[in-house]
Structure 1
Amino acid sequence: MAEPPEDLHTDDCLTSYTHIYSQDLLRDHVAFVTGGGSGIGFRTAEILMRHGCDTAIASRNLDKLTEAAKKLTCATGRRCLALQMDVRQPDSVSAAVDETLKEFGRLDILVNNAAGNFLCPASALSFNAFRTVMEIDTMGTFNTSKVVYEKWLKDHGGSIVNISATLGYRGQALQVHAGSAKAANDAMTRHLAVEWGPSGVRVNTVAPGPISGTEGYRKLGGSHAESAGVFRTIPLQRAGNKTEMAHAVLFLASRAASYVTGATVVADGGAWLTSANDVERLLGLWSQEKRGDKST
């Protein structure tokens, strides 16, 4: 079985990297990555930059973004622009995209990575909490896609890659909020691929499984599942890592996928096909989180 590529559990750049495509694959391209200051977004920005791309990373936390941009530029030699932005606010998105175009003169790739999630039974989920996840995940994806399309992609073509999840494929305990949001995003990918294809815009999705070294992994009980041997039920028998997700984005964003649009690449090691929907275990994790019990 092939070994997974190198990764780090922290939000730091890789100490070594083996290119799976030409280092010039994305030369002279510019990417815009939401949620690019940490987790999958950070590693995605790094991998795109290692293949020749300049990048804007955007989220609400400017301090985190500024530190991330310094790391990314130092490791890759490419330019990285840190932009404070709230995907829920179209005016904020518009200002960030304008700044990107002013700095780089073009925008070829959009990665919609910003998201929010946590464990919570539907009966305990507040109306506001459900709305907030929908606003970040679904409205945020639409807002950013529409702004980037109108300001650049409509007249120049390009690629949009949405980061989704497999939560809505069969119904997942304690995840009605995120599962609903991601199911809507998967439909959005297909609709936008149809409408924007004639403009030369490809729209695709990556649906990760459990990915180590991310905030989602911690919040959704990934470490507990790993220690309990839950991942042995996954066909590939392990969690994925951020570099693997970044490679999936790289493929879809690049000319290697020039005839791929409206597609969802499930990158979860086969987890959604075989993993148990363990309601009791997830309820236990949720109860511990409510109590502030971090001992397990």
Structure 2
Amino acid sequence: MSSSDLLQKSFRAVSKCMLPKDTFKGKVAFVTGGGTGIGRAITERLSEMGASCCIVSRKLDVLDKTAEDIQKSIPGSKIITAAADVRNPDAVAIAVDKCVKDLGLPNIVINNAAGNFISPTERLSSNAFRSVIDIVLMGTINVTMDIAKRLIEAKQGANFLGITTIYAHYGSGYVVPSACAKSGVQTLHRSLASEWGKYGFRFNCIAPGPIYTKGAFSRLDPSGQFSDQMMNRIPTKRLGELEEISNLAAYLVSDYSSWMTGEVINFDGGELMSMVGEFNSLEKVPQEQWDELTAMIKNVKGS
């Protein structure tokens, strides 16, 4: 299935901000993986509501193009870019230095950088496994630790948001490194919500179901053959929209959710609940067969 087909089948969400325009005026956001996909959408949403953003990834050309595009579409927005591999603590420190110098200490940290691909686990080398763990889990730890230590010293609070996945709750075959790493990210955020609440920090996560982005789907559904199956098992029968997740992310890092911390919000159109429900597959039973089944059940009850 092509990306245009996916988007046609998907509900076009209202692109409007659900929060007031100046919600993040004077705030600084640090967004990893901010050049594409979900990270870009969140950056655009926060910028729309007044935040100054520092977007980070390994590809400076992609970051610069994203910054240019957003600044054109949102006059007055301020976005700086910093090329960094989040696996490298020294590179992270340099990126945060640039953010602090040009914008100030972050009030919002979006841990979105990720790496993932499908593979039978027995085909994976230790290096393949480690590459995903290092980007997703260690990258999140590197960013969180560097920024948090600076914030603690400055006595400044902040909101941290991790972007994980619904299969981080119970695991999934064929994406085992990602499942391990993303569950670690959730546990990190939940643990620090308890320990570091005293510093004025909040930690929450969004666990999305399938939201179409070119990069993610090129690695997770390269043939396009699984997309229809994916939508059929989602009760809402559509994929999520970037506009929707960016609105949710904005709420979670805003003062409107100031009593929420340590939470993981499933954002999946009901996909997880549909998959784990013991009898949910009965949705495939045609209506005429239900008449037969009902009669059989009545006969058993009457015997």
**TM-score for the superposition, normalised by structure 1:** 0.85
Counterpart of 1:178? 178
- Tell me by how many angstroms 1:153 deviates: 5.3
What does 1:3-152 correspond to in 2, within 5 Å? 4-6=12-14, 17-77=15-75, 78-152=77-151
Confirm or deny: 8 A CA contact 1:156 1:200 kept in the other structure.
yes
- Tell me by how many angstroms 1:213 deviates: 2.5
- Distance in 2 (CA, whole Å) between partners of 1:123 and 1:247 is 39
Q: Deviations over 1:125-176 (max 9, x none)?
A: 1110101100000000010001111112551001000010112323312011
- Distance in 1 (CA, whole Å) between partners of 2:257 and 2:275 is 30
Report SS of the residue matched to 1:156. Answer: coil
Q: Deviations over 1:103-125 (max 9, x none)?
A: 01231000000000000111111
Aligned residue-pair number? 264
- Distance in 2 (CA, whole Å) between partners of 1:204 and 1:170 is 18
Counterpart of 1:190? 190
- Tell me by how many angstroms 1:81 deviates: 0.2
- Tell me by how many angstroms 1:221 deviates: 1.6
Confirm or deny: 8 A CA contact 1:40 1:214 kept in the other structure.
no
Counterpart of 1:283? none
Counterpart of 1:13? none
- Tell me by how many angstroms 1:273 deviates: 2.0
- Distance in 1 (CA, whole Å) between partners of 2:31 and 2:111 is 6
- Distance in 2 (CA, whole Å) between partners of 1:97 and 1:158 is 14
Code of the residue aligned with 1:129 in structure 2: it is A
* Structure 1 stretch displaced more, 69-78 or 117-126: 69-78
Assess, with a 3 A threshold, how the Cα gap between structure 1 residues 185 and 172 changes in structure 2: closer, same or farther. same
- Distance in 2 (CA, whole Å) between partners of 1:273 and 1:171 is 14
Assess, with a 3 A threshold, how the Cα gap between structure 1 residues 153 and 112 changes in structure 2: closer, same or farther. farther
- Distance in 1 (CA, whole Å) between partners of 2:201 and 2:152 is 7
- Distance in 2 (CA, whole Å) between partners of 1:266 and 1:257 is 16
2:235 maps to 1:238: no
5+ long unaligned stretches in structure 2: 1-10, 277-303
Counterpart of 2:269? 269
Confirm or deny: 8 A CA contact 2:160 2:204 kept in the other structure.
yes
Percent of aligned pairs sharing the same letter: 33
2:218 maps to 1:218: yes
Report SS of the residue matched to 1:192. Answer: helix
- Tell me by how many angstroms 1:275 deviates: 3.9
Query: Alpha carbon RMSD of aligned pairs, Å?
Result: 1.7
Report SS of the residue matched to 2:17. Answer: coil
**TM-score for the superposition, normalised by structure 2:** 0.83
5+ long unaligned stretches in structure 1: 7-16, 277-296
Counterpart of 2:204? 204
Q: Deviations over 1:28-72 (max 9, x none)?
A: 101000000001000110001011111000011011111111111
- Tell me by how many angstroms 1:5 deviates: 1.6
